[in-house]
Amino acid sequence: MKNFKDQIAFITGGASGAGFGQAQVFGREGAKIVIADVRAEAIAQALVKLKAEGIAAHGIRLDITDRAAYAAAADEVERVYGGPPTLLFNTAGVNSFGPLENATYGDFDWLLGVNLGGVVNGMVTFVPRMIAARRPAHVVTTASVGAFLPSNIAAPYSAAKAAVVSLMEAYRLALAKYDIGVSVLCPANIKSNIAEATRTRDARFGATGFVDNEQSIASLHSIYRHGMEPVELAGHVKRAVEENQLYIIPYPETQPQLRQHFDAIVAAVLPMEADPEGAAKRVKALQDWIAGEAKVFMPPPPAGAATDKR
């Protein structure tokens, strides 16, 4: 997608940080913006700023873990802008840090629920509507470079983000035939309000085993205030959507650690000489299956597939 004018951009977490940067950058290109966020007051403030720039913007208070509310939000977008999103940004996310061995079920339920479950809800809600609309479209989901780098204090978050990377890799394969591109953004440090994420944690998740107090929040702010500006990050996202890139990782400082991580994985694979006959047999079985039986699981695109070229 090269032209963003009159595209319909639905941005979760759009009231703050990376999501608000996306609203500004794509709004300035002429996209019609929906910011969906759990914090009503932050939505109101964000809308004032966007509208002051002449950006068409609509706000929806949405907790992305609430599936019924998500469906209602999708209906609202269609009512307001006349169709489903052609740009879906699954950007909302929350973080919390503490010793993994102290994590409660509530910590896992909240961190997996928002960071993974919220993305699942976005895809299951919108993908069928986007396919049915038969318009070229693009999905950008925000994971994290933490998806690839283990941390003993951010494990539920990193696990959710790793799952999100895997999901987007698969959705990219699944949606190409509908002319829907998919990208996954893996930021390192962003200048945002994520240090305060625990303030949005719902009481239903009960007690945390992680560290959450004024001191820990202040400590996190001391990192994030040196992060990349959200508008700069969103500029990288815009270029990646224009080029239909899968991975968006505009942080050069992460390359050595990522290389080390993936080199270690590749180095763990036995060389071909270790089992040439077994490998050949398994590869042939898989190839035969893909050429034959696997078609059962991969029906041809339905009549609703997009025909326009992006």
Ligand X SMILES: NC(=O)c1ccc[n+]([C@@H]2O[C@H](COP(=O)([O-])OP(=O)(O)OC[C@H]3O[C@@H](n4cnc5c(N)ncnc54)[C@H](O)[C@@H]3O)[C@@H](O)[C@H]2O)c1
The span from the CA of 1 to the CA of 87, in Å, is 10
Catalytic pick among 70, 157, 171, 251: 157
Q: 10 forms bridges with which residues in the sheet?
A: 34, 88
The region of 3-11, 68-76, 90-98, 203-211 touching ligand X under the rule CB under 6 A is 90-98
Non-local (6+) Cβ contacts of 212 within 8 A are 96, 98, 198
Query: In the complex, what is the shortest distance from the CB of residue 273 to ligand X, in angstroms, rounded to a whole number?
Result: 41
192 touches ligand X (CB under 6 A): yes
The region of 35-43, 74-82, 237-245, 264-272 touching ligand X under the rule CB under 6 A is 35-43
- Indicate the DSSP class of residue 59: E
Active-site residue, 157 included: yes
Query: In the complex, what is the shortest distance from the CB of residue 49 to ligand X, in angstroms, rounded to a whole number?
Result: 13
The span from the CA of 161 to the CA of 180, in Å, is 22
197 touches ligand X (CB under 6 A): yes
The span from the CA of 141 to the CA of 248, in Å, is 10
Give 137 or 186: the residue with its C-beta nearer to ligand X: 186
Give 168 or 306: the residue with its C-beta nearer to ligand X: 168
Query: In the complex, what is the shortest distance from the CB of residue 92 to ligand X, in angstroms, rounded to a whole number?
Result: 4
Angstrom CA distances, 202 to 2, 36, 111, stand at: 39, 17, 11
Helix runs in the chain, H state only: 17-28, 40-52, 67-81, 105-112, 118-133, 155-175, 214-224, 230-243, 255-267, 276-291
Query: In the complex, what is the shortest distance from the CB of residue 120 to ligand X, in angstroms, rounded to a whole number?
Result: 13
The span from the CA of 15 to the CA of 62, in Å, is 11
Give 62 or 306: the residue with its C-beta nearer to ligand X: 62
45 touches ligand X (CB under 6 A): no
- Positions annotated as catalytic residues are 157
Binding site for ligand X (CB under 6 A): 12-13, 15-19, 37-39, 42, 62-65, 91-95, 114, 118, 142, 144, 187, 189-190, 192-194, 197, 200, 224, 227
